[in-house]
Amino acid sequence: MADRRPRGMRAFLRPSGRRPDEPAPERSMDPRGDESPGIRPSVIDNALYVDGKRVATPASLADAFDGLKNTPGAMAWIGLYRPKDWELVKVAEEFGLHELAVEDAIVAHQRPKADRYGDTLFVVLRAARYLDDVEEVDFGELHVFVGPNYVITVRHSEAPDLSAVRRRMESEPDLLRQGPQAVLYAILDAVVDGYAPVVGGLQNDIDEIEVQVFGGDPAVSRRIYELSREVIEFQRATRPLLEMLDGFVAGSAKYGVDEELQSYLRDVADHAITVVERSGGFRQLLQDMLVVNATLVSQAQSLEMTKLTEASYAQSEEVKKISAWAAILFAPTLVGTIYGMNFDFMPETHWALGYPFAVLLMGAVCLALYVVFKRRDWL
């Protein structure tokens, strides 16, 4: 454990000239407020290990610091859950953590990465879990400080369950005996294994969407878009792991990582590659589904327009027939109306052949109109 104190670390707790209700530019991203050191620390588990076995469970961070100093060959594993700023500053001062890494841990909302500051490795991981009830992916953030004789985990979410990781390591003292690097491997393994249920849940969602697409569900476009956003976020959480794990494997010899532990790291890397490849396939599949859905919607609209056009054409044909018969029936009515007028000076009314002439005129007009409409395909 280093004795140096990081420069500028007190700046996280130093009062500023801002108003009490005005948030700091960076720390405004942190939903947690500041509390005084009198509040009980957010320590989930706090243990000292010697030769792969737990030898002490300090009641406080101060006891852990003292125990690590006074126990030769000991390793401290401190688990924090949504700690306050002053807690992280206190831990940073005791272990000599770099102020940039501590700032990232306080602000959170970091991309997955691995930065080395001297003999301390700072790792940011994005855990994920699939929520079956709402069919959504819940993302969490985990910060890990790995030093020569300590591991400090800072969780900002429920996932991953580091208590299961600790139980696993304590049940395998031969693995835990290899020190902080073995703990980091176990955490990486738990995070990557946690991606498997997410991949399965996304696969089920995609299968359901495929049924909706070919079933003509009008709400499927929105679901495709929402699931695409989740897949993109999942890729952002998993894709940086490949480069990170490759770096760990490549630097294993330099930092004295055991060969067996190197094999475990390569196995984790293989699982991460599978997750990244499947998530990339999901994204492409969703894009194809969106195109297919747009095509099907366009075809349905085209078919509907065709039906409307055919109905309009049929209606137009009926209107033409009705109009033609109305014109034919109007002709004799017109003739009859003219000869039905009571005028004295109408020669045809006093003509002996007037009636047959009027009837023949009506028939001739009707026949002429029928022939005209028939030639024009109105009848």
The pLDDT of residue 349 is 66
The SS3 call for residue 255 is coil
C-alpha 328, offset from chain centre: 69
Indicate the pLDDT class of residue 41, thresholds 50, 70 and 90: very low
| Positive or negative torsion for Cα 45, 196, 116, 182 | positive
Domain ranges of the chain: 1-172, 311-375
* Residue 186, CB-side half-sphere exposure with 13 Å CA sphere: 26
Residues 222-268: tens digit of each pLDDT: 888 889 999 999 999 999 999 998 888 888 777 777 788 888 889 99
The pLDDT of residue 124 is 93
Which of 237, 238, 183, 13 lies closest to 103 in space, CA to CA?
13
Q: State residue 268 phi and psi, 5-degree precision.
A: -60, -40
> Which comes out higher in pLDDT, residue 111 or 143?
143
Q: What is the mean pLDDT of residues 151-175?
A: 89
C-alpha 334, offset from chain centre: 76
Share of the chain above pLDDT 70, in %: 86
Q: Does 190 score more than 90 pLDDT?
A: yes
Residues 12-34: tens digit of each pLDDT: 444 333 333 433 333 333 333 34
Indicate the pLDDT class of residue 186, thresholds 50, 70 and 90: very high
The CA-CA-CA angle for residues 157, 227, 243, to 5°, reads: 60
Q: What is the mean pLDDT of residues 63-68?
A: 88
Extract the tokens encoding 217: 């569900």
Q: What is the mean pLDDT of residues 179-197?
A: 92
Could you confirm whether domain 1-172 is CATH 3.40.50.720? no
Integer CA distances (angstroms), 127 to 130, 216, 227, 274, in order: 11, 35, 18, 16
The pLDDT of residue 335 is 72
Residues 83-120: tens digit of each pLDDT: 888 888 888 988 889 999 998 888 877 888 999 998 89
CATH topology (fold) of 311-375: Methane Monooxygenase Hydroxylase; Chain G, domain 1 (1.20.58)
The pLDDT of residue 346 is 67
> What's the mean per-residue pLDDT of the chain?
81
Cis link prior to 180 (omega < 30° from 0)? Answer: no
The pLDDT of residue 292 is 85
Extract the tokens encoding 6: 């990081």
Identical topology for domains 1-172 and 311-375: no
The pLDDT of residue 309 is 82
Q: Does 11 score more than 50 pLDDT?
A: no
The pLDDT of residue 32 is 38
The pLDDT of residue 348 is 67
Which of 294, 156, 161, 147 lies closest to 221 in space, CA to CA?
294
Residues 301-336: tens digit of each pLDDT: 788 888 888 888 888 878 878 888 887 777 777 777
